[in-house]
Every structure is written in C-alpha cells, then in structure tokens.
A and B are shown apart, each in its own frame.
Chain A
Amino acid sequence: ETGVTQTPRHLVMGMTNKKSLKCEQHLGHNAMYWYKQSAKKPLELMFVYSLEERVENNSVPSRFSPECPNSSHLFLHLHTLQPEDSALYLCASSQGSWGNEQFFGPGTRLTVL
C-alpha cells in the first residue's frame, strides 16, 4: 500500500450506531488531518494532529472523537450522529513544514439515516 488509505469507502449508519473511520498513511509524514466535505460546501477542517498530539480542534461536536495512536494511523470515532453529518470525510497527511503539500486519502462517504 502506498499513499494515504481510508476505510471504509462507504458507510451507512443509523443515528444510534457507533462506528469508526480509519486512515493510514505510508509516507512517513508527521501531521494528519480530518476534513468534512458536505455537498455544495467548502472543505471544513475538523482536527489536526502533529506528532500524535492534537493541535487543532475546530469546534467539532463531541459526537466526533479523533484518535491518533501513532504517526501512521488516525481514527475518527462516530456515535449518535445526525443526518446533517452525512458527508464525505477526507483524511490527509503532510510533513510539518509550510512548503509541503497535503496528500489526501480517497475519502469515506458517510450517510446517516
């Protein structure tokens, strides 16, 4: 595997379910990100981890809980979501310098019923 991978690619869940999104990067980067992309809305930054420490939390509801056990893995734990949380969730990684681009995973399309 190369680059940034995300699983699952598609997820349908009820409002009472608990699920987790997984992201893995094989690039040796030291920063990882979760973004939410809703239809016809800009990309919204949710969380940033740098060297496994959370450095950004952009007022995300507590029903989204991130976890970064090491520099290669990032999880987004979901519980009691709302239908408006249905979106594309993108994971990205980068090296910690302003001159380095982000590499994105293919995303997880989440539908909350």
Chain B
Amino acid sequence: AQKITQTQPGMFVQEKEAVTLDCTYDTSDPSYGLFWYKQPSSGEMIFLIYQGSYDQQNATEGRYSLNFQKARKSANLVISASQLGDSAMYFCAMRELTGNQFYFGTGTSLTVIP
C-alpha cells in the first residue's frame, strides 16, 4: 500500500485566492511526522511546514497551514492569498518513528493564474 497519496496531479488557482492540496497517509506507527515540500522548476526541494502526530493544533507557517485530520489520516496543505511565485510542484511526505526513511507522494503541480 502507498504510504502517501496525493490524488491531484495538477491544480489551478487564481492569484490572491486560497487553495488546498490534498494528502492522505498510511501508517500503523503512533509516532510520525508529516511534511510538505515545494519544488520550483529550478529543482530544489524547499521545506514548507511540519505536523507531528501528537500535535493538537494545526501547524501554520506564514501563508501555509496544515489541515491535520488524524482520524481520517489526512494532512492537507492550505495556501492562502496565492502568489505567482507559488507555482511549483508540492510534495507531501511522512517519516515514521522507526527508521530514517521519508515517504513521498507523487506530488501536485500548482499553477497560479494572474
């Protein structure tokens, strides 16, 4: 089974609007971390936001917030007030308590329309 599932290959959003990128995960570990990365066309992976499995509140970092629904095993990324520079690939990832491996989803390509 896939550890991380991103069901939206591509998304479009109008500039200044909010957009939600979906991510669901699969693990039986009680301790895990969830991460979102942005990959612009230059190729570098940029860390955006982190949510721990024991965190009671949704993580927020500036215009990024993570909608964490533990019972549904979802960790959606919300980008508010989209900017043209937000156009990129976005990857959801998970790291479990055991091991050093990070599991990545297939990514969502976001295009911000002026």
Contact = CB atoms under 8 A, between A and B. Distances in A.
Interface stretch (A17-25, A63-71, A72-80, A89-97): A89-97
A71 B31 CA distance: 26
Given A42-B106, A98-B95, A99-B50, A92 B45 contact: yes
B101 A56 contact: yes
Nearest to B93: A102
10 contacts: A42-B104, A42-B105, A88-B43, A90-B43, A98-B33, A98-B96, A98-B97, A99-B33, A101-B35, A104-B47
Contacts, number: 61
A42 B97 CA distance: 23
Interface of B: 31-33, 35, 37, 42-47, 50, 52, 91, 93, 95-97, 99-102, 104-107
A107 B40 CA distance: 12
A55 to B, nearest CB: 6
Contact of B45 (A90, A94, A100): A90
A106 B44 contact: yes
A50 interface: yes
Contacts of B33: 98-101
A94 B100 contact: yes
